[in-house]
């Protein structure tokens, strides 16, 4: 289950990054530019709500109900299972570790560091100079 959890966590991070941080409206604009029509509300609900929730539930239930791996009658020792989970979690933890690193590295007040961390680099100068953050607008987070 370890490798599967790593892949599912990567998919979860990507789904959250695209639909919540990048912004669903911006994502739909990009898709409209490619296929010449805006995605239907069904797809927007799936991208913003259903997919992250389903992936999260699969990961949580997969970890909760996982059993120690075995091959025929051989049960792997605990240290080997723990080593496998350490390798799997090393792939998972890089996204949150880098997010914290970027948050700490950025100078300025906490709200500005958070704004820069969740905004594209093209908006960083505007955030630093004017303090205007489109990512803090309710419309950005709740729009479908």
Tell me: do 59 and 86 sit in the same domain.
yes
Q: Which residue has the tokens 């955030």?
A: 127
Using the Cα atoms of residue 28, residue 34, residue 40 and residue 44 in order, give the sign of their dihedral.
negative
Containing domain of residue 113, as a range?
106-144
Task: Say whether 40 sits in a helix, a strand or coil.
Answer: coil
Tally of domains within the chain: 2
pLDDT digits (tens, 9 = 90+) for 77-123: 999 988 988 888 888 888 889 889 988 998 888 888 888 888 888 88
How far is the C-alpha of 140 from the C-alpha of 24, rounded, in Å? Answer: 8
**Where a domain ends, among 73, 94, 115?**
94
Tell me: do 6 and 74 sit in the same domain.
yes
How far is the C-alpha of 27 from the C-alpha of 105, rounded, in Å? Answer: 28
pLDDT above 90: percentage of residues in the chain: 35
Tell me: do 81 and 140 sit in the same domain.
no
Q: Is 58 inside a domain boundary?
A: yes
Q: Is 42 inside a domain boundary?
A: yes
144 pLDDT higher than 80 = no
Q: Is 101 inside a domain boundary?
A: no
Supply the pLDDT for residue 63. Answer: 84
137 pLDDT higher than 90 = no
Tell me: do 63 and 121 sit in the same domain.
no
| CB contact at 8 A, 135 and 115 | yes
Tell me: do 41 and 64 sit in the same domain.
yes
The overall pTM is greater than 0.75: yes
How far is the C-alpha of 32 from the C-alpha of 39, rounded, in Å? Answer: 7
Tell me: do 50 and 121 sit in the same domain.
no
């Amino acid at each position: 289950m370890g490798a599967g959890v790593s892949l599912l966590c990567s998919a979860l991070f990507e789904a959250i990054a695209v639909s919540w941080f990048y912004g669903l409206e911006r994502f739909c604009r990009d898709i409209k530019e490619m296929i010449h029509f805006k995605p239907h509300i069904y797809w927007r609900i799936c991208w913003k709500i259903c997919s992250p929730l389903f992936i999260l539930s699969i990961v949580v239930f997969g970890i909760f109900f996982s059993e120690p791996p075995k091959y025929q009658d051989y049960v792997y020792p605990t240290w080997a299972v723990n080593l496998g989970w350490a390798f799997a979690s090393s792939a998972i933890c890089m996204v949150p570790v880098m997010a914290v690193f970027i948050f700490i590295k950025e100078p300025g007040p906490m709200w500005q560091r958070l704004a820069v961390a969740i905004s594209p680099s093209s908006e960083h100068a505007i955030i630093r100079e004017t303090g205007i953050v489109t990512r803090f607008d309710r419309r950005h987070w709740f729009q479908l």
